Chains A and B, each alone.
Chain A
Amino acid sequence: MSTQSASPVLSIKDLTIRFKTPDGWVKAVNGVSLDLNQSEILGIVGESGSGKSQSFMAPMGLLADNAEVSGQALFQGHDLLSLGTRELNQIRGTKISMVFQDPMTCLNPYLSIATQMMEGLRYHNPDISRRDAKKRCIDMLDQVAIPDAARRFNQYPHELSGGMRQRLMIAIALLNDPQILIADEPTTALDVTIQAQILDILRALQAERNMSIVLITHDLGVVAETCDRVAVMYGGRLQEVAPAKELFENPQHPYTIALMQATPRVEADDKTQRLAAIPGQPPNMRVPPPGCAFFPRCAVGQAQPCSERAPELEERQPGHSCACFRMEAALKLRETGHV
């Protein structure tokens, strides 16, 4: 599905983010380098605190005030991390848009849908007439399958259902025809029936508009259903990056394998089997482990070298990278579980 072009649309290089807190520095993201290709849906998977959201909040200039960032995020010749607010405003909302988990915290309950849709559109296109702008908004509502779009356009957010509000957020994000859409847990607050429809809408719009989507989620099922390529994060680092089909059929990192084995599956026929839980807790990023972040919970880790230094992300097969010293041992893990 993805047509990989030579140059990526967004290129993150050696991104490191830490937050200053009263209890010391929290190292949220550690040396992440990742490309987003033209016309692909890239999934970023990880658990809470893995750094998956912060990695994409940084290029958008949306980090909290106590953050300290280093590295680069290259987009059309600009390093987004070094741009000022004014320059960034020429890019975000038009060329790169975002959709968040909870639509109700993003929408203003006092303003009509019309006002909220038109605001972004006319800010970035000052010359557009009211009539044309309105037409574009209603077309966009149609495209995200909001029924009776012309009537909905004049309503207020509370008059829409939760699923429709999220589709409205997608419509607003796509109004200016962005090259990149960053969707951060867009379906986590929704019921499965609504989730399926939103994911299908995202896929259809991506194909139609040739845009790139970054889909940030904790749900491996959502990734498998939607993404072309996947990056797995743990403890602020990329652990494995691969095409989606390859990742699910040939996972290599012990964390990826463990995560797949810990996830209950609706299609499993032998449900009497215990889930292969991952022992222990995710790392405390105030005092991250000195070596591999997953070592304290890893089934195949060894004190040397895993506890001493963090493995680099290395390309093992074309397009499939993995950060692990113990890959051969990790592959044996797959035989024990249902991956």
Chain B
Amino acid sequence: MSDQSSPSPAASEPLLKVRGLSVHFKQGKSWFRTRPPLRAVEDVSFDLAEGETLSIVGESGSGKSTLARGVLQLLKPTKGQVWLNGRELGGLSPEELRRSRKDMQLIFQDPIASLSPRRTVEQIISEPLLTHMPSLSGKERREKIAEVMASVGLLPDMRNRYPHEFSGGQAQRIGIARALVMEPSLLVADEPVSALDVSIQAQVLNLLADIKQERQVSMLFISHDLSVVHHISDRLLVLYLGQIMEIGEASAIYERPQHPYTKVLLSAVPRMQVSGRETRKRIYLKDDLPSPSSKLAGCPFATRCPVATAQCHTAKPALTAYEGREVACHFPGIALEGQNAVAA
């Protein structure tokens, strides 16, 4: 099942290597001033090993999706490099980049909207095959489609149906089949289950877990739901205003978060337990995410951090090894005071 067409990376090289990636957006000019660029992703570096799942978490507006699109070169990075299977994607010609896209496939949030309403399931799944493997015969193509449909739990007689005939969960299976049919080495899933009901969400999460195990595919999993992320991740990347706050083994971060922002996020997740809820401490943040357009001298989280000092506002903490993971904080591991009721 493994893809032999791409050059195999050296044993020590990760499947995906991202270094110093920044994605800035130009903002409109007015007569009197030029607005600074919006810094959606700022100087992000990480590795993704073969068969590994790295989840990107953060609030809305933290740059999760922009980071993924920058990695996939769907948005041109302002700075930085991305290597997939040892090839630097930014240096490829448009034609080479197009050919390398079969190695990296995307699964979208809205399962129905991301499928063309005028094409049957078979046509939708055959699209990437027609683009990337035009030499396949019709029979070979149909065999591949039947095989991938079976592997995501779609029945053969569904191939002539249209997306609107499917429920959300089934439509998401079609989206996953379309991504898998190219046998990619990298799968990027952008909030793949957040539009689904819990009972269906579990089906799709189990499917993704099976795919990961059977195909050894690497996955970038983007989600705002920390319970879902906990279930699926090997490693975790906590993003805030486009910058990495904490990155490392997921289980270690969930057990002992070290960055104040990670602590805040985890303390806010509702637990399915009634006893003790009155005394369980939650940490509040002041207001919402600030605008990412101003270049901050200090730590991006300093404006909302409950324990920020003067130093945090003036000096930016570097991502530094701490307790078996990397943390960007001047005071990693600092204890936070929780609250359990609002002072009205």
Q: Is A bound to B? A: yes
In this assembly, does B330 line the interface, its C-beta being within 8 Å of a C-beta of chain A? no
Q: Is B227 touching A191 in the complex (CB atoms < 8 A)?
A: no
> By the criterion of a CB under 8 Å from any partner CB, how many residues of chain B are at the interface?
49
* Docked complex Cα distance between A143 and B342 (Å): 9
* Docked complex Cα distance between A191 and B200 (Å): 22
Mark each residue of chain B from 251 to 270: 1 if its CB lies under 8 Å from any CB of chain A, else 0.
Answer: 10010000000001111111
Smallest beta-carbon distance B194→chain A, Å: 10
From A143, A200, A220, B341 is in contact (CB under 8 Å) with: A200
Q: Is B265 touching A192 in the complex (CB atoms < 8 A)?
A: yes
From A194, A219, A264, B230 is in contact (CB under 8 Å) with: A264
- CB neighbours (8 Å) of A161 from chain B are 287-289
In this assembly, does A282 line the interface, its C-beta being within 8 Å of a C-beta of chain B? yes
Q: Is B197 touching A48 in the complex (CB atoms < 8 A)?
A: yes
From A143, A191, A245, A274, B209 is in contact (CB under 8 Å) with: A274
Which residues of B in the span 265-293 have a Cβ within 8 Å of any Cβ on A? Answer: 265-275, 277, 282, 284-289
From A196, A249, A259, B268 is in contact (CB under 8 Å) with: A196
From A143, A221, A258, B227 is in contact (CB under 8 Å) with: A221
Q: Whose C-beta in chain B lies nearest to the C-beta of A244?
A: B274
Which residues of B in the span 177-229 have a Cβ within 8 Å of any Cβ on A? Answer: 197-203, 205-206, 209, 224, 226-228
In this assembly, does A327 line the interface, its C-beta being within 8 Å of a C-beta of chain B? no
Q: Is B202 touching A278 in the complex (CB atoms < 8 A)?
A: yes
In this assembly, does A66 line the interface, its C-beta being within 8 Å of a C-beta of chain B? no
- CB neighbours (8 Å) of B76 from chain A are none
In this assembly, does B294 line the interface, its C-beta being within 8 Å of a C-beta of chain A? no
In this assembly, does B111 line the interface, its C-beta being within 8 Å of a C-beta of chain A? no
In this assembly, does A265 line the interface, its C-beta being within 8 Å of a C-beta of chain B? yes
Q: Whose C-beta in chain A lies nearest to the C-beta of B195?
A: A48
Which residues of A in the span 239-295 have a Cβ within 8 Å of any Cβ on B? Answer: 244-245, 248-249, 258-260, 262-268, 271, 274-279, 281-282
- CB neighbours (8 Å) of A264 from chain B are 202, 205, 227-228, 230-231
- CB neighbours (8 Å) of A147 from chain B are 286-287
Q: Is A221 touching B271 in the complex (CB atoms < 8 A)?
A: yes
- CB neighbours (8 Å) of B277 from chain A are 224-225
From B231, B265, B273, A193 is in contact (CB under 8 Å) with: B265
Contacts A225-B270, A278-B199 given: A268-B265 contact, CB under 8 Å?
A: no
Q: Is A266 touching B254 in the complex (CB atoms < 8 A)?
A: yes
Which of A143, A196, A199, A258 is packed against the most chain B CB atoms within 10 Å?
A196
Q: Is A224 touching B273 in the complex (CB atoms < 8 A)?
A: yes
In this assembly, does A210 line the interface, its C-beta being within 8 Å of a C-beta of chain B? no
Q: Whose C-beta in chain A lies nearest to the C-beta of B170?
A: A281
Smallest beta-carbon distance B280→chain A, Å: 8
Mark each residue of chain B from 99 to 119: 1 if its CB lies under 8 Å from any CB of chain A, else 0.
Answer: 000000000000000000000
Smallest beta-carbon distance B255→chain A, Å: 9
* Docked complex Cα distance between A204 and B339 (Å): 13
In this assembly, does A73 line the interface, its C-beta being within 8 Å of a C-beta of chain B? no
* Docked complex Cα distance between A76 and B277 (Å): 33
* Docked complex Cα distance between A147 and B226 (Å): 28
Which residues of B in the span 140-157 have a Cβ within 8 Å of any Cβ on A? Answer: none
Interface residues, chain B, with chain A CB atoms under 8 Å away:
59-60, 167, 169-170, 197-203, 205-206, 209, 224, 226-228, 230-231, 251, 254, 264-275, 277, 282, 284-289, 339-344
Q: List 16 A-B contacts (CB under 8 A).
A: A47-B197, A147-B286, A161-B289, A164-B287, A195-B268, A200-B340, A219-B270, A224-B273, A262-B201, A263-B202, A264-B227, A265-B227, A275-B205, A277-B203, A278-B199, A281-B200
Please provide the 7 A-B residue pairs with the shortest distance between their CB atoms, ordered closest to farther.
Answer: A221-B270, A161-B288, A277-B202, A278-B199, A262-B202, A47-B197, A275-B202
